Amino acid sequence: MLIEEASPRQMLEFLVAAGIETPLDEHPVDRFALSVPTPVAEPQRPAAEAQPARMAGGGPAPLAPDAAIMEARRLASSAPDLDTLRSLLDAFDGCALKSTASRLVFADGTPGAPIMIVGEAPGRDEDEIGRPFVGRAGQLLDKMLAAIGLTREHVYIANTVPWRPPGNRTPTPQEIAICLPFIARQIELSAPKILLTMGAPATQTLLGQKEGILRLRGRWFEYAMTGRTIPALATLHPAYLLRQPSQKALAWRDLRALSTRLRNSG
Ligand code: URA
């Protein structure tokens, strides 16, 4: 059978359908053809002249993952309030997701609200607007909150990672580890009475669990911050519920448990 050659438009449509929507450069790079430069020993410069490592394009070289985690910890722990934390995160270059995202997606809702919700990562709509949960999953989240008499203003919302992963893929364990000090400090500074984790990445990362979300949802955990712990409930992510609407009853059960606990917490 003769296979027709795809037109440039068909190829583009195929790439978009495969989730590849973010051009990283003007021209394709054949990385197999690039030769690995042999390191040449440079004469030692006096310490006063030493410059930060720079990429060929002029930007700073990305930090190695361990160094990025250390830097994230140092910066996050130095933030005395949420505004400072946001500025420090916005200026932080240690997570590669920042280079493909359009902007930082820090938080929505009311800082200091009794409930803090942590999702996975911004999607396309969030990346465009700069606020978490504004797309279809966010609209469902609003309905879920309304079902227990709450609006966005009654909660504070953030994500495990604050930059959109390309094509909405799941953030890698390394990206999550690098961003963890920031979301942990964000929880600490907002100081909710109850934490609600939505989906596997937020639940496993923040609550130190390994099981799948269908086993973890509906269960209460203790979330430890410096000097105190708060109750944390795991539930299903609204994006999952959009794909599996029959599971909404489980999320509804979780939200009722959340509402009861909040009422009893005084
Ligand atoms: N899904 C998330 O986990 N977070 C968002 O902000 C949007 C969709």
The per-residue pLDDT for range 96-138, each reduced to its tens digit, is 999 999 999 999 999 999 999 999 999 999 999 999 999 999 9
Listed residue (236, 234, 143) closest to 196, CA to CA: 234
Compute the distance from residue 7 Cα to the ligand 1 centre, in Å. Answer: 34
- Per DSSP, what are the bridge partners of residue 197? 118, 234
Bigger pLDDT: 205 vs 19: 205
Using the predicted structure, report yes or no on whether residue 25 has a pLDDT greater than 60. Answer: no
Nearest to 257 by CA among 207, 218, 202, 216: 218
Across the chain, mean pLDDT equals 86
When pLDDT is cut at 50, 70 and 90, the band that residue 63 belongs to is confident
Could you tell me which of 240, 235, 242, 241 has the C-alpha nearest to residue 257?
235
Residue boundaries of the structural domains of the chain: 64-264
Atom of ligand 1 minimally distant from the CA of 238? 1
When pLDDT is averaged across residues 69-94 and rounded to a whole number, the result is 98
CATH topology classification for 64-264: Uracil-DNA Glycosylase, subunit E (3.40.470)
Residue 28 has pLDDT above 60, yes or no: no
pLDDT at 37: 42
Total-model pTM: 0.80
Identify the pLDDT of residue 8: 65
> 106, 125, 131, 159: which to mutate for ligand 1, most atoms within 8 A of CB?
159
* Residue 251 CA to ligand 1 centre (angstroms): 16
Residue 230, helix vs strand vs coil:
strand
CA of residue 10 relative to chain centroid, distance: 32
The rounded Å distance from CA 165 to ligand 1 centre is 11
> 227 by DSSP, 3-state: which?
coil
pLDDT value of residue 36: 42
E strands within 120-186? 155-159
CA of 46 to the centre of ligand 1 (A): 48
Average pLDDT over every residue of 80-107: 98
For 158-204, the pLDDT digits (tens) are: 999 999 999 999 999 999 999 999 999 999 999 999 999 999 999 99
Going by pLDDT thresholds of 50, 70 and 90, the confidence category of residue 57 is: low
pLDDT given at position 160: 98
DSSP strand pairing (155-159 vs 115-119): parallel
**Closest atom of ligand 1 to CA, residue 202:** 3
Mean pLDDT of 20-46: 47
